[in-house]
Structure 1
Amino acid sequence: MTDVLITGSGPTGLTLACDLALRGFAVRVIDRRTEPHHESRGKGLLPGSLDVFRRLGVLEALEATGNKKVVLRKYFDGEHINDTPTEAGLLLGQWQIEAALRDRLAGLGVRVEYGSELAGISQDESGVHTELADGTVIGARYVAGCDGGRSTTRKLLGIPFEGNGQEEPAMVIGDVRAPGLGRDAWHQWFTSDGGGMLLCPMPGTDSFQLQASPERGERGEPVPPSLESFQRLFDRHARVPGIRLVDATWISAWRVNVRMATRMREGRVFLAGDAAHVQPIAGGLGMNTGIQDAAALGRTLAAALSGPGGEEVLDAYEAERLPVVADVLADTAERYERVVEAVRTPGQGTEVGMNRAQPPAGA
């Protein structure tokens, strides 16, 4: 029986695994995917996450690749308006963050078990018994569900995921190359009709992360994202002749969702990261909140594994994180609305959502 079984090998699960392995506990990490992804996804680490990674011994590797300073180059209706330097953390792709954490974890003797799909959970006073899709049974003293917004762990526990979301995509996203486009700035093109396209150069690569308003068909319905659609959106918003987008290695769509689990613990099983909460992207708090979840859960599980593990010890994680998550959801929803409105004004861009409008209660 392992001490902790972690489902999901994103930034949350890998951070928790490194934390517990460094403390000397036996950890296993399973993931239904057959191999690591190579997508930029969440691309910014905030100071709190950098502090966690410094303690885990991965910050130096991340800083060797990422950019601390980013220039937001803003355009409106095709005209360059201004450049805004920012320095709020570290810019790099999520796949690069995960790779650094996997390398650290491997150095601690733990490797992600890919192709392992969770199918069942049962628990008693002695531990948790998890069954995989192939019939394998893994016993653990505790389980941490870090398996994303569609968390199988959360669904198996029957924990409600309350909130609201939009069916239509608010944004199309992807990773592309744009030969000939300068890589010295995060290009942000907005137009007077409220649409826009952003191309952010990803450090350590020759690709850009693309974010854009969805293309609409003749009847006003969203057009599924594709490289061809990306090019049409670029031509419409950027209006830069001669630039062709190529090599789309990731194509997806993003929908506004503001949801959180009604609880983050069921007996010996815990939820963290997107499995427990999803929120708008403004401010880049999603991945970072999950990393902070992992740090807090690491403290709770270490205390439980080192001592009697009474209810008051196990309750500490949810008591600490649930109010924080509720605040983050409200804050990011407000930031997102602020950005959507602000970019209609020439010279304003994503920096509008970097800070909260009001300080947190008690600050």
Structure 2
Amino acid sequence: MTEPHDLDVLVVGAGPVGSTLAADLLRRGLRVRLIDKAPHAFEGSRAKGVQPRTQEVFEDLGVLDEAHAEGGTYPLMGIHLGPITVPWRMQRQHRPTPAVPYPNILLLPQSRTDAILHRLLDRLGLRIEFGVGLDGFEQDDDGVTATLSSGERVRSKYLVGADGGGSTVRKAAGLKFAGDTDQSDRTLIVDATIDGLARNRWHVWPGTGGKFVGACPLPHSDQFQLMIKLKPDETPETGETAVAARFHAATGRRLHDVTWTSVFRPNIRIVEHYRAGRVFVAGDAAHVHTPAGAQGLNTGVQDAYNLGWKLGQVLAGAPDSLLDSYETERQPVAARVLGKSTELYAGLEKQRLSSLKRGDEERQIGLSYHGGPLAPADGAATKTLRAGDRAPDAPCAGSGFQRLFDVYQGPQFTLLAFGPDAISALPDLKWPDDGAGLRRYAVHKGQGGDLADTTGLVAETYGITGDTLVLIRPDGYLATVITADWIAAFDAAAKAFAA
């Protein structure tokens, strides 16, 4: 006789990754606990760049307005060369388009990202259990029994480690973490106020031998995030007096009111497997990056966004193989991101100005799962999109919405039907009652119908040239494209994604 389950999912780690996952699971009606061994929420600026694709995730969760209100745009860099300050644009500012409404990176200190997600969890009725760590766990075919630092034993159907680079979950699961850490390459990170320093620049003072000092203004505050490159074998003093003296010696500027310090070491690692039975890892527990390109937090949040709906579906009766696709979809993404951030960081070490540039790849809008287990390369496609591609936004009209992202918001699948034959098939398409629901929309040109393509941009953006069904996953990627045999093809999709 198996033990009863206290929970559906126990999440370890209440940073942006664990909090995103917990929020997504809660809106699916699942029983969740979120624990974190730290005594309180993180208080520093650490990962401060929220990429466009992550902003779309936050919009789906209903917290993007808060993020935009508390964040700001990245300023021009100001490279100090003696008495001269040279302006330098790290990334081109893009204009919003109907397909990509949030095209630019958002400057948002990590403590504020955490706070925004924690307020969301509070609204969803979840209390984060700070000061509670994971001592260990045992798993069997039916679930996981975790022992908490409080001595409590908790039974859950699944366990997810979002507990950072030193992940207890990863280590206890025996998952190999391939890569290296350069102990001689370290940077002192400090949040502080600096007197008389312009807040319209991300200031950089280059030094010799790869040394540098940087100061990025944090929005809606008097603070900057300072980055001070350390000598290989140096043990830095982190008290305010010592940090202030060091900064003044390097820049001639005075700082005060230090609120957070940390010594950063550039880990470059990726886990061999994202899953061990009923145990998963996400975010830094699965992959750690250099800070270049603002990729780590964003990749981790999207890990959670990918895993959440799959856990919900399997708990509702979908095939277990759906959970295997978490690794096969997300691991290649992390590997590419790891390579890109490492390349950028290496360029910074050599003081190449080109390495300060950021392009489209870092925005993560073009990420696709096409060719993976849920989106075969030989599947049907439209003129512009394939299964596995991101579902773009577009203006439309209907009951309570003005954009496709309004239509997609929520934990459900979405089905768009274009053309009279596809629309006529909608009522006959069966979808399971358990798990994520299905919203169906008949897309009509001009006014009228379930969804009115008033500008023609829905059909144009989605590359529609004839009768077509487009099924959108809960995480905003195309699940499948169907252009014939409506019922049989849709049944096959339902069996792959649902109970």
Same-fold status (TM-score > 0.5): yes
Instruction: Name the counterpart of 2:192.
Output: 176
User: Is 2:229 aligned against 1:224?
Assistant: no
Alpha-carbon distance in structure 1 between the residues aligned to 2:269 and 2:88 = 35
Cα separation, partners in 2 of 1:37 and 1:152, compared to 1, 3 Å: same
| Structure with bigger gyration radius | 2
Q: What SS does the corresponding residue of 1:183 show, helix, strand or coil?
A: coil
Cα separation, partners in 2 of 1:93 and 1:350, compared to 1, 3 Å: farther
Give the aligned residue type for 2:166.
Answer: R
Q: Is the 8 A contact 2:10 2:156 kept in 1?
A: yes
Instruction: Name the counterpart of 1:282.
Output: 292
Residues 236-274 of structure 1, C-alpha deviations (whole Å, 9 max, x = no match): 432x3xx32112211111112111111010111100000
Instruction: Name the counterpart of 1:129.
Output: 145
| Structure 2 length-normalised TM | 0.66
Once the two structures are overlaid, the 10-residue window that deviates more, 76-85 or 105-114, is: 76-85
Identity %: 37
Shift of 1:342: 3.4
Q: What SS does the corresponding residue of 1:339 show, helix, strand or coil?
A: helix
Shift of 1:360: 8.8
Shift of 1:80: 0.8
| Structure 1 length-normalised TM | 0.90
Q: Of 210, 214, 225, which residue of structure 2 is paired with 1:209?
A: 225
Cα separation, partners in 2 of 1:176 and 1:51, compared to 1, 3 Å: same
Q: Is the 8 A contact 2:121 2:127 kept in 1?
A: yes
Q: Of 324, 330, 342, which residue of structure 2 is paired with 1:321?
A: 330
Structure 2: 5+ residue runs without aligned partners? 1-5, 94-103, 371-388, 390-499
Equivalent residue runs for 1:86-101 within 5 Å:
86=91, 87=93, 88-101=104-117
Alpha-carbon distance in structure 2 between the residues aligned to 1:360 and 1:16 = 20
Q: Of 56, 60, 63, which residue of structure 1 is paired with 2:65?
A: 60
Cα separation, partners in 2 of 1:74 and 1:21, compared to 1, 3 Å: same
User: Is 2:84 aligned against 1:79?
Assistant: yes
Give the aligned residue type for 2:128.
Answer: V
Give the aligned residue type for 2:257.
Answer: D
Alpha-carbon distance in structure 1 between the residues aligned to 2:295 and 2:288 = 10
Choose between structure 1 and 2 for higher RCO, CA contacts under 8 A separated by at least 6 residues.
1
Instruction: Name the counterpart of 1:333.
Output: 342
Shift of 1:180: 2.1
Residues 192-242 of structure 1, C-alpha deviations (whole Å, 9 max, x = no match): 44321111111132211011211x4xxx7314142344334433432x3xx
Runs of 4+ in 1 over 4 A off after TM superposition: 353-357, 359-363
Alpha-carbon distance in structure 1 between the residues aligned to 2:256 and 2:171 = 38
Alpha-carbon distance in structure 2 between the residues aligned to 1:256 and 1:83 = 25
Alpha-carbon distance in structure 1 between the residues aligned to 2:303 and 2:340 = 17
Structure 1: 5+ residue runs without aligned partners? none
Q: Of 197, 209, 214, which residue of structure 2 is paired with 1:198?
A: 214
Give the aligned residue type for 1:268.
Answer: R
Alpha-carbon distance in structure 2 between the residues aligned to 1:212 and 1:67 = 23
Q: What SS does the corresponding residue of 1:36 show, helix, strand or coil?
A: coil
Cα separation, partners in 2 of 1:162 and 1:103, compared to 1, 3 Å: same
Shift of 1:350: 6.3
User: Is 2:313 aligned against 1:303?
Assistant: yes
Q: What SS does the corresponding residue of 1:342 show, helix, strand or coil?
A: coil
Alpha-carbon distance in structure 1 between the residues aligned to 2:338 and 2:74 = 27
Q: What SS does the corresponding residue of 2:260 show, helix, strand or coil?
A: strand
Give the aligned residue type for 2:234.
Answer: P
Cα separation, partners in 2 of 1:11 and 1:78, compared to 1, 3 Å: farther
User: Is 2:31 aligned against 1:19?
Assistant: no
Give the aligned residue type for 1:302.
Answer: G
Instruction: Name the counterpart of 2:257.
Output: 247
Instruction: Name the counterpart of 2:426.
Output: none
Residues 311-353 of structure 1, C-alpha deviations (whole Å, 9 max, x = no match): x12201011111111222122111111222234xxxx386335
Matched pairs, number: 350
